[in-house]
Amino acid sequence: MGKSLLIIYQFKQGVRMKLQVHSIHFDADMKLLEFIQSKLNKLDMFYDRITGGEVFLRLDKGDTKKVRSKMLEVKINLPGGTLFVKEQASTFEEAMDIAIEALKVQLKKFKDKIQEKVNPTRNVLISMAMES
């Protein structure tokens, strides 16, 4: 029971991203998989060098079988690093929305960190200009 799905798609800049979606102990429907893919596609606007990712979907063990919260884990592979987010919500869509917001913040920080390594004097010049 459960599936693993591999999706490979290409961003505008020609970078290919390999995305694996794993549904643990249940079968995810195509609508959910398309929702996840469309959300992850939007991360390209924040950092265009994403090389791959994995999404794990699982049902949290609750007291009753009717009300089980949804656990979602997203791992994004980048040149020089990996980002990870784990979220829990009442639906996978809600958990994905929360995870995407967290990934946007992480991507911005990662991008800033890379820029500092590439051009460390840029920040000094900006702060000197602001002091003048």
Is 60 exceeded by the pLDDT of residue 126? no
Instruction: Name which residue leads in pLDDT, 103 or 26.
Output: 103
pTM: predicted TM-score of the whole model, two decimal places: 0.77
What is the reported pLDDT for 17?
72
Tell which residue, 54, 55, 45, 39, has the closest CA to residue 11.
45
- Which CATH number among 3.30.1700.10, 3.40.50.150, 3.40.50.720, 3.30.160.100 corresponds to the domain 2-131? 3.30.160.100
**Long-range contact pairs involving 33-38 (C-beta distance under 8 Å, separation at least 24):** 33/5, 33/7, 35/92, 35/93, 35/96, 36/92, 36/96, 37/7, 37/9
Supply the pLDDT for residue 99: 97
In the predicted model, what is the mean pLDDT of the chain?
82
